[in-house]
Copies of this chain bind each other. A is one copy, B any other.
Amino acid sequence: MTENKQPTYNPGKGAGEPVGVAILGHGTVGSEVLRLMEENSDAFAHRIGGTLEIKGVAVSDLGKPREGVDPALLTDDAMALINRDDVDIVVEVIGGIDYPRELVLAALRAGKSVVTANKALVAAHADELAAAADAANVDLYFEAAVAAAIPVVGMLRRSLAGDNILRISGIVNGTTNFILDAMESTGATYDDALAEATRLGYAEADPTADVEGHDAASKAAILASLGFHTRVKFDDVHCEGISSITAEDIQAARDAGYVIKLLAICERVTDEQGNESVAASVHPTLVPKEHPLASVNESYNAIFVEAEAAGRLMFYGNGAGGAPTASAVLGDLVGAARNKVHGGRAPGENTYANLPVADFGDVTTRYHIDMEVEDRTGVLAELAAIFAARGISLKTIRQEESGDNARLIVVTHSARESNLAATVEELQKISAVKAVNSVIRLI
């Protein structure tokens, strides 16, 4: 089915009874959500036009001591809590995929609106969840799943609903932005910058999901799906992390007027036959230092959108953390509660465009290639011929001494990934090329 059922008639329950809320999870985000609901209960009541009442907080470990939550609210039976008649909205802040999927589907099927912060769940199962929400005529909100407090989901779902997105480029992972920014500003190696990030709490003990780009890839899938009204899942995202970026790469980038950022890039692709598709990828990217994304430092996130009528837009802020994530959860909760009281629904998911996912080889990009080459006559001609054979022209070339060899750095003009990748493969095989040090795409 190519078209999702749009929201239909959904009268509200009025302001007579409170809106019942079930909170699933009491970790960093869950406890912050509870704290802020308590602190702002009057303000929220005014903004909703009705009161919120927490009916229960589901946790896995009832024995663990917990601050800031009435023990009478705690339960380890999430399913029973979800199914209570007096629960209208379920907030899922557990994390993980399989168990939350079970709970969220149960909530939707029981007619409860759902607010989630779970990017992995949404990136993997958005279609199933959206269908369940539509069938039950309830809302599924997930602003907190992408870049925490930066309201990119609402922006794509509502604000840009009258425009057409051309491209979305985002710094959507704070860990990797912190590491690359530390390497940029201090000249540190990757390993030292990662150690610093870990020490300061910007990287987890096992940083794989962040540094290999998986976290960013989940967000890329969600952004691409929303931006292009189509279905893109985590597995559709081409993903490269930052663990092979070196201090020399950072220096070479700086010399050429760039910084290196790990970007999620979502765009329309037109293949050689003129067929349209959507591509989402995550990879280290050279960004000109004048570009707005270049000045996004530390662990901040930013999403840069190019739309047909709006032109360039950028949204910057805290992309992670308990309070910023809770801010997004609570914005959604107030929205869901307004609908429960007054009637109506948020825009449902809409994949009407139903574009196929691009073959990554069809994506157009530009490469920055850093090589050690033999320092002799004819090498440049040999290399240039290899590029030309695949229709790739060179934008800039820089050569400098490197011991007995020469270091050659080229930036190509735009070309298809498949041609660029094949060219690099060929370069690696010829004797004139001692090593390809790095290949980094440009924004």
Contact = CB atoms under 8 A, between A and B. Distances in A.
A344 B315 CA distance: 28
Given A149-B309, A151-B155, A162 B8 contact: no
Query: Which one of A12, A151, A160, A352 has the highest number of Cβ atoms from chain B below 10 Å of its Cβ?
Result: A151
B6 A158 contact: no
A3 interface: yes
A427 interface: no
Contacts of A40: 162, 164
Contacts of A99: none
A143 to B, nearest CB: 7
Interface in A39-76: 40, 43-44, 46-50
B9 A163 contact: no
A100 interface: no
A178 interface: no
B309 A162 contact: no
Interface stretch (A189-197, A264-272, A322-330): A322-330
A315 B314 contact: yes
B310 A350 contact: no
Contacts of A329: 162
Contacts of A7: 49, 338, 342, 344
A234 interface: no
Interface in A279-299: 292, 295
Contacts of A341: 6
A159 interface: yes
B311 A317 contact: yes
A343 interface: yes
Contacts of A150: 313
Contact of A313 (B32, B46, B149, B330): B149
Contact of A151 (B143, B159, B229, B309): B159
Contact of A158 (B307, B331, B350): B331
A148 B48 CA distance: 27
A318 B295 CA distance: 18
A326 B163 CA distance: 9
Contacts of A317: 310-314
A161 interface: yes
A49 B338 CA distance: 22
Nearest to A163: B327
A244 interface: no
Given A36-B162, A229-B46, A316 B318 contact: no
Given A149-B309, A310-B317, A312-B317, 18 more contacts: A6-B15, A10-B342, A40-B164, A44-B162, A149-B307, A151-B154, A151-B160, A159-B328, A159-B331, A160-B327, A161-B334, A161-B335, A162-B334, A163-B331, A292-B316, A311-B318, A311-B323, A312-B318
Interface of A: 3, 6-12, 14-15, 32, 36, 40, 43-44, 46-50, 143, 148-151, 154-155, 158-164, 229, 292, 295, 307-318, 321, 323-324, 326-335, 338-339, 341-345, 347, 350, 352-353
